[in-house]
Amino acid sequence: MASDHVRNVGPMQRARRCQRIKRNGERCRAPAITGRGLCRSHGGKAGAPKGNRNALKHGLYTGAARERDRRARALLRQIREVLEALEEEMQGIRPE
């Protein structure tokens, strides 16, 4: 059963090729990964992303998160102080 589907192979044929030399001395002719000079078989996808994008994992210890935690602790401290003052005031009002 023959297929009448016409494949668009032009972009694949124009793609940059891997720069690696194979063991037999010939150049690898596989298409290179965009932005790298190597194909997937020769390490084109290997390694961490460029720049500092791979440093942030969850944001738990970012400057903004630490400042938010600092403010939350200060607010809790104030709430405890107010509650303690109310408790002392209430002890003076109600009979025990």
For the stretch 8-38, pLDDT in tens is 878 778 888 888 888 999 989 888 888 888 8
Structural domain includes residue 74: yes
- Taking the C-alpha atoms of residue 38 and residue 29, their distance in angstroms, rounded to an integer, is 10
Q: What is the SS3 assignment for 27?
A: strand
In a domain, 7, yes or no: no
Q: Rounded CA gap, 65 and 73, in Å? A: 12
Instruction: Give mean pLDDT, residues 57-86.
Output: 93
Structural domain containing residue 78? 59-96
Is the pLDDT reported for residue 53 higher than 80? no
Phi and psi at residue 51, in whole multiples of 5°? 80, -150
Domain count within the chain: 2
pLDDT for residue 82: 97
Q: What percent of the chain has pLDDT over 90?
A: 30
Task: Tell me, yes or no, whether 40 lies in a domain.
Answer: yes
Q: Is residue 5 part of a domain?
A: no
Is 90 a member of any domain? yes
- Is residue 17 included in any domain, yes or no? yes
In a domain, 32, yes or no: yes
Q: With 60 as the cut, is the pLDDT of residue 1 above it?
A: no
Exposed, middle or buried, 7 (CB in 10 Å: 0-12/13-18/19+)? Answer: exposed
Q: How far apart are CA 82 and CA 17, in angstroms?
A: 70
Q: Are residues 35 and 63 in the same domain?
A: no
Residue 2: pLDDT band with limits 50, 70, 90: low
53 within a domain of the structure (yes/no): no
